[in-house]
Structure 1
Amino acid sequence: MTETPAPPGYGDEKEAYLKRLRRIEGQARGLQRMVAEDQYCIDILTQVSAMTKALQAVALGLLDDHLAHCVVDAAAAGDDAAAREKLAEASAAITRLVRS
């Protein structure tokens, strides 16, 4: 018998995340256009910064959802090993975010 995987912790916010990611995709296309059109370096860097902040906001939201749902649900189920695994995943994600 196969176990049905739990829905992702971001399930309630899925459409909002998709909307944000589509906006970020548009920003990336805009950056490509700026470079292709030989725009001023500082203007491009300003847009890169805005896109970076937008991606960070998505990452932080997903991390918050992971902690609030995946980690909490594993702990509430009384499965210490699963809770530790979910917490380790979150810690590794935080490390990657801080290093980027």
Structure 2
Amino acid sequence: MELTMAAEELRTAVNRLRRAQGQINGVIKMIEEGRDCEDVITQLAAASRALDKAGFAIIATGLQHCLSDTELAESGDRERMRARLEKLFLSLA
């Protein structure tokens, strides 16, 4: 499935992904340094939440585009696209 979306609309998702990338790098460094398990898990959970939020933002943007696309609605593909986006959404749940 190809979702063409403007970078501006996905800026928040990209920022979350960058934050998660930094958190994951931090988790790796913490493990290598032998840091406390609780601290490592806390950072890992934060990275996981950032990834989830980015995924939901991308799917929400895709839903907005697909469901408002009149050409898509007229072609009868709207239901198929909705089902595919729902499947993506559930993969993050």
Is the structural similarity TM-score above 0.5?
A: yes
Spell out, residue by residue over 1:2-45, the C-alpha distance to the aligned partner (whole angstroms, 9 max, x if none). Answer: xxxx8623543233332322221111110000000011111111
Task: Give the structure 2 partner of residue 97 of structure 1.
Answer: 92
1:32 matched to 2:5: no
Given the alignment, which residue of 37, 43, 46 partners 1:41? Answer: 37
Q: Give aligned-pair identity as a percent.
A: 26
Q: Distance in 1 between matches of 2:80 and 2:63?
A: 12
Asked if the contact 2:12/2:54 (under 8 Å) is kept, the reply is no
Given the alignment, which residue of 67, 81, 85 partners 1:86? Answer: 81
Asked if the contact 2:3/2:62 (under 8 Å) is kept, the reply is no
TM-score scaled by length of structure 2: 0.82
Residue 46 of structure 1 aligns to a residue whose secondary structure is: helix
TM-score scaled by length of structure 1: 0.77
Stretches of structure 1 that go unaligned for 5 or more consecutive residues are 1-5
Residue 13 of structure 1 aligns to a residue whose secondary structure is: coil
Stretches of structure 2 that go unaligned for 5 or more consecutive residues are none
Root mean square deviation of aligned Cα: 1.9
Residue 26 of structure 1 aligns to a residue whose secondary structure is: helix
1:14 matched to 2:25: no
Task: Give the structure 2 partner of residue 65 of structure 1.
Answer: 61
Question: What is the number of equivalent residue pairs in this alignment?
Answer: 90
Deviates more, 1:17-26 or 1:37-46: 17-26
